[in-house]
Amino acid sequence: MAVLKVIEVLSNSNESWEDATRKAVKEASKTLNNIRSVYVQDQSAIVNGDNVTEFRVNLKLTFEVK
């Protein structure tokens, strides 16, 4: 039986929500092992004039605790 833990992570990107999600997983994997899944809870964006300048995600990251 595996024991899993869920943490909340915030991330941003100038490119896309997908890129922000990838950045969050990459950064979290520097200190967490056995990441199992990520659930994007919220997405938002910053708009400057008529352009989207930043994509933001609030996600739940699940990893196995050894």
Specify the CATH number for the domain of residue 31: 3.30.1660.10
Q: Across 1-66, where does the E strand assignment appear?
A: 3-13, 35-48, 51-65
Does pLDDT of 22 surpass 90?
yes
How many domains would you assign to the chain?
A: 1
What's the predicted TM-score (pTM) here?
A: 0.90
Q: Which pLDDT value is given to residue 29?
A: 97
Q: Tokens standing for 40?
A: 């994007």
- How many CA atoms lie within 13 Å of 5's alpha carbon, on the beta-carbon side? 9
**Which domain, by its residues, includes 24?**
3-65
pLDDT tens, position by position, 42-62: 999 999 999 999 999 999 999
Q: Tokens standing for 49?
A: 């004039």
**Taking Cα atoms as reference points, which of 44, 45, 39 lies closest to residue 59?**
39
Contact between 62 and 6 under an 8 Å Cβ cutoff? The reply is: yes
